[in-house]
Amino acid sequence: MGRHEAEERFPWLTNVPWRAIAAQFPVRLPRGYLGDAREASDPRLRTALPDPAELEPHAGDVPDPVGEQARSPIPWVVQKHADRVLLLLTKRCHVYCRYCFRRDHDPGSSSSEDPTPEEWAAMFAFARASGAREAILSGGDPLAVSDARLLNAIDALRPEVPVIRIHTRAPITFPQRITPHLVSSLRARAPVWVIVHANHPVELSAPVRESLARLVDAGLPVLNQAVLLRGVNDHPDILAELCETLVSLRVFPYYLHHPDAAPGNAAFRVSLDEGRAIHEALRQRLSGIALPTYVIDPPDGSGKRAILPELV
């Protein structure tokens, strides 16, 4: 959906400095993902549409909020743990979520949205020699690249790196990307784990459910990571419905992320105390297979850590 079509459908966007916002972080609006959303409060619109607040600095902003730059030994690679290595296949996404933690820093090459051929070869050589047992294919969105390029990435890691994790929002934002060819190709390369990213029950449309079913039916383990977002899902009822629905779809609610303090996303942040209270309410009502672990990824680059309930 282009800017003019978006402004016609969402009239309030005519007063938004779209060009200035997109210069800092791109805007992309797939029609299918936005569905029948019309109100600005709709979770899909709140997380996908540009907002003037993105241009306002905030005292809590952290330019590299999860500490990736210091843990990036070569472009497009992040390694925080000896047994895992994260590879950024691209900077491109089907939807550029306005709360994204990578919106203001760049562990990749600053000259392109994709690695050069030399950078592509170098990152897989590094991964194979790293001693890691798991490779996390990320981005951007790793499913924003072609099947051939994605499968080349997996094949370039084997046999040295046995377990592949694909961290993607595509089954949620662009479900038609989950084609029979992609699914069968991933199944043939097991073990491949797919970690998706849904934040609100409204995102679990019929096409999304079909895309998730294709993956699960093929024997591919599917987990979900959600981000706790003010004005989107910062209520136990919303998150409980999300988690219970995911379980019914055979998707494990893996993590609930505390929001990262990236410049431009201050409007989405909740406090740690608020997050603890919401997660404790979930703990009281969800089963063990439906309760995600509440985690924070600190800016020191040490990696995710669980946020435990406060002892009283």
Q: What is the 3-state secondary structure (H, E, C) of 249-266?
A: CCCEEEEEECCCCCCCCH
Q: In this structure, what DSSP letter does residue 104 have? A: S
Closest listed residue to residue 68, CA positions, set 105, 115, 93: 105
SS (H, E, C) 135-157: EEEECCCHHHCCHHHHHHHHHHH
Q: Which residues face 135 on adjacent strands?
A: 85, 164
Give pLDDT, residue 108: 65
CA gap 191, 89 in Å, rounded = 19
What are the pLDDT digits (tens) for 47-74?
999 999 999 999 999 999 999 999 999 9
Give pLDDT, residue 311: 57
Is-contact 51 16, C-beta < 8 A? yes
Between vectors from CA 160 to CA 82 and to CA 165, what angle results, nearest 5°? 65
Q: What is the DSSP string of 236-302?
A: HHHHHHHHHHHHHTT-EEEEEEPPP--TT-GGG---HHHHHHHHHHHHHHS-TTT-PEEEE--TTS-
Give pLDDT, residue 111: 66
Is-contact 169 197, C-beta < 8 A? yes
Q: Which CATH superfamily is domain 3-306 in?
A: Aldolase class I (3.20.20.70)
- Please state whether the peptide bond connecting residue 191 to the residue before it is cis, i.e. omega within 30 degrees of 0: yes
Give pLDDT, residue 2: 87
Q: What pTM does this model have?
A: 0.96
Mean pLDDT for each 10-residue chunk of the chain (312 residues)?
A: 89 92 93 90 95 95 95 97 97 96 74 92 98 97 98 98 98 98 98 98 98 98 98 98 98 98 97 97 97 97 91 54
CA gap 159, 126 in Å, rounded = 14
What are the pLDDT digits (tens) for 142-152?
999 999 999 99
CA gap 178, 13 in Å, rounded = 31
